[in-house]
Amino acid sequence: MQFRVFRYDPDKDDKPYMKDYEVELEPTDQMLLDALVRIKEQDDSLSLRRSCREGVCGSDAMNINGKNGLACTTKLSELKQPVELKPLPGLPVIRDLIVDMTQFFKQYHSIKPYLVNNDPPPEKERLQSPEEREELNGLYECILCACCSTSCPSFWWNPDKFVGPAGLLHAYRFLADTRDQAAAERLDNLEDPYRLFRCHSIMNCVDVCPKGLNPTEAIGKIKTMMVKRAV
Amino acid sequence: MANVGRNTPVRKFDAIVVGAGGAGLRAALQLSEAGVKCAVLSKVFPTRSHTVAAQGGVGASLGNMGEDNWNWHMYDTVKGSDWLGDQDAIEFMVRAAPEVVIELEHFGMPFDRNEDGTIYQRPFGGHSMNFGEKPVQRSCCAADRTGHAMLHALYQRNVRANTQFFVEWMALDLIRDPSGQVLGVTALEMETGEVMVFHARATLFATGGAGRIYSSTTNAFINTGDGLGMAARAGIPLEDMEFWQFHPTGVAGAGVLITEGVRGEGGYLLNKNGERFMERYAPNLKDLASRDVVSRAMATEIKEGRGAGKEGDCVLLKLDHLGAEVIDKRLPGIREIAKKFANVDPVKDPIPVVPTVHYQMGGIPTNYHGEVVVPKNGNANSVVPGFYAAGECGCASVHGANRLGTNSLTDLLVFGKASGNSIIRYLKENPGLKDLPKDAGDRSLSRLARLESQTNGESYAEVAKDMRRTMQKHCGVFRFPDTLADGVKKIREISDRVTRTEIKDKSKVFNTARIEALELDNLIEVARATMVSADARTESRGAHDRSDHHGRDDVNWLKHTLWYKEGDRLDYKPVNLKPLTAESIEPKVRTY
């Protein structure tokens, strides 16, 4: 099977280039990550992040034939050859398929991604009905792979000012949690021409999310909360 | 080339936590909230640690679904361990379990809920009511993504507590002074290739397991036993390394985990004849017997020609009878995994599964405070000052010869927190930071220098592959005297080859070839410890099953193995059968 892979090592390369690989696959090699492991056996200098190989740790996000996705859950049989692999767009490249995610995590941290409840903790669990808990479905499953934010033109243009779909999904995860008491502060934190309102519902995020989540919908719900409190 | 100069930079902290999975994050939280100046080192961004892959739940006798109490949880854990677990540590864990789970809920963990708003709990293997009578619902879960929900909640709480992380730093070696006291670690910044010494009064290893010593494992690529390798090189023994858990339900071929929660929710295993064979092996708990028991039953079915699939090399996990609604509500991740990795939709078809390496019961020996203990001057459990271990890399020992499902998450919460508390106490009592020994960075620097200059060596990937194949073939579900002895010989040969591995990539920047070669240095110590310990233990107990010694031998083998790297030496220490307050649970025949 044929691959064209983005290569760049600042230690020795003046500029990035695409390198071709031909790999012999075994029947057990089903996913793109399996093929990348084979390529690395040929050429140990190819650098990428990977860990769980089952789509839950979020390490091996990359641009696959022009679309962001996880190497470990992308089936080889569904890929057109030569498979073109590039680092996630919009973030600085450290080396090969590894990007610097500092800006992405900075935005995630900026929404105060933790439950705020200043009441003294009760002896037992804080109660939540199954229906209230269900509100968190489609939100808490985010694996912070950055496929969404790095496919979002608004994030490409303003990664320092626009929170991006991943961060906003998490912002809504806490707004939607009946145990959280910081809704007003959370909305204040997003009341800004850029942080929330740079989302123009392009929906690339929905299209690429490997977990099937819908950040655009979550963003819409935050906007509704903003409107509601304004009236 | 990495920085291998004499002037390795040094940073000083009160405490260092190596690893940012569940145990590391729980400990770090305890330390940060107490105002301890603490550094957390992780090879990966914290939410990418392997705790993220835990599925089925965390065990705690909350009693939300009906009667339950810690005495029953304790009995199940001791029985599950095939009496190799230390009963003081087990009592400590099961009693602390409800509290740490409730804390986690307060931190924001999105547990599933009952109609009355309490945390939902599901049945799980080996967990029973009234000392083995019938299954109990003890596993607190967030659908089948409990580890993910837990790891993120713990990371988020650490963000709130301003914990200082060193992300994508790989710890290389443990620093001990001539008295044996631990004074920190050397570590490599992956992005730059720079080496730094982290100098501290207390060092906690929370580096997880080493399932990657096998070719077929549910474990992530990063599970390379780094803490165990570092400890072994620094002269610390590894405990009970012959005990590896084969999870009954790894996806055939891919090895990806399918939670026991599937069986907890009512799924069951079938052989090729459509027979629910667990009824024969465990008439009472059936598919919810302990994992070692279920894995052996599956392997027996396959061996005796009743395996399913084209090659007859797997069995089938049936859950379609639960209905799409229950599956989508309680097991949505499983449906996703089965579709992707087994090409079946479990709403219609059963999932082909095989026993797959999943969990390391052994590890760095500790007491129930998370303090590392080694034999010294006649004391089998002498504390190594400044050194702690928690989670899968530690061995308290609560899991003994076989861990119960859900007890790994319980373990990392309870002992992560306990080791954090022990460190806080230790720091108060020991204010002065001792000087680093002169050779503090030498071991790491010479390992790196060796890799830099190695020529005509073997590819690290080839050597690693041979190690995995050898472990898979010689130390599986069923173990045979000749293959064990042969395995020891082979793994020693591979161990020699590891000292001559070569990397072609010499870049400073994010050199993952170098990282993998350094990881192999750790894996091989774990592999050798496993083979040597398994070869020596002439009985069958828990996950260690020998064809030439059926059954448990409490007269000769009711003891923990201690393996030392130096000369592959083995030592043993007694099992603690005395709980903290409860009555001792005396060894008896183990049936489910």
- The closest of B82, B247, B52 to B153, measured between CA atoms, is B52
Q: How many CB atoms lie within 10 A of CB B130?
A: 13
Taking CB atoms and an 8 Å limit, are A45 and B513 in contact across chains? yes
- pLDDT digit string, tens, across residues B98-121: 999 999 999 999 999 999 999 999
* Residue B7: per-residue pLDDT: 73
Which of A11, A50, A125 is nearest residue B102 as measured by Cβ atoms? A125
CA-CA-CA-CA torsion for B225, B230, B234, B240, nearest 10 degrees? -10
Does residue A60 belong to the interface with chain B, where contact is any CB pair within 8 Å?
no
Q: Stretch B368-372: mean pLDDT, rounded? A: 98
Residues 93 through 112 of chain A touching chain B, CB cutoff 8 Å: 94-96, 98, 101, 105, 109, 112
Tens of pLDDT, residue by residue over B410-469, are 999 999 999 999 999 999 999 999 999 998 999 999 999 999 999 999 999 999 999 999
Distance CA A161, CA A193 (A): 9
Q: Which residue from B minimizes the CA distance to A136?
A: B110
Please, which pLDDT band fits residue B1 given cuts at 50, 70 and 90?
A: very low
Select the CATH number that applies to the domain covering A2-99 from these four: 3.40.640.10, 3.10.20.30, 3.40.1030.10, 3.30.1130.10: 3.10.20.30
pLDDT category at B368 given cuts 50, 70, 90 is very high
Q: Is B296 a catalytic residue?
A: no
Q: Given its phi and psi angles, is residue B287 left (phi above 0), alpha (psi -120 to 50 degrees) or beta?
A: alpha
Residue-wise pLDDT tens digits, A151-180: 999 999 999 999 999 999 999 999 999 999
* pLDDT score recorded for residue B5: 47
Cβ of residue B509 closer than 8 Å to a chain A Cβ:
yes
| Res B198 pLDDT > 80 | yes
User: Is the Cβ pair A45, B507 closer than 8 Å?
Assistant: yes
Confidence tier at B509 by pLDDT (50, 70, 90): very high
Write down the pLDDT at residue A184. 97
DSSP, residue by residue, A24-80: PPPTT--BHHHHHHHHHHH-TT------SSSSSS---EEEETTEEEEGGGSBGGGPP
Instruction: Judge contact between B321 and B327, C-beta under 8 A.
Output: no
Give chain B positions within 8 Å (CB) of A49: 44
Distance between CA atoms of A14 and A8, rounded to whole angstroms? Answer: 8
Whole-number average pLDDT of chain B: 97
Pick the CATH number of A102-230 from 3.40.190.10, 3.10.180.10, 1.10.1060.10, 1.10.1510.10: 1.10.1060.10
Element (H, E) at A133: helix A130-134
pLDDT tens column, B529-578? 999 999 999 999 999 999 999 999 999 999 999 999 999 999 999 999 99
Using a CB-CB cut-off of 8 Å, the residues of chain A touching B112 are 130, 133
Q: How far apart are the first and last CA of chain A?
A: 59
Angle at A72 between CA A146 and CA B469, to 5 degrees: 140
Q: What is the pLDDT of residue B6?
A: 60
Point out which residues pair with B389 in neighbouring strands.
B205
Residues of A in contact with B119 (CB under 8 A): 125
pLDDT per position as a tens digit, B279-310: 999 999 999 999 999 999 999 999 999 999 99
pLDDT at B3 over 70: no
> Average pLDDT, stretch B400-417?
98
3-state SS assignment for residue B128: strand
As a whole number, mean pLDDT of residues A55-68 equals 98
Contacting residues for B296 by C-beta, under 8 A, at least 6 apart: B281, B477, B478, B545
Domain locations along chain A: 2-99, 102-230
pLDDT band at B4 (very low <50, low <70, confident <90, very high): very low
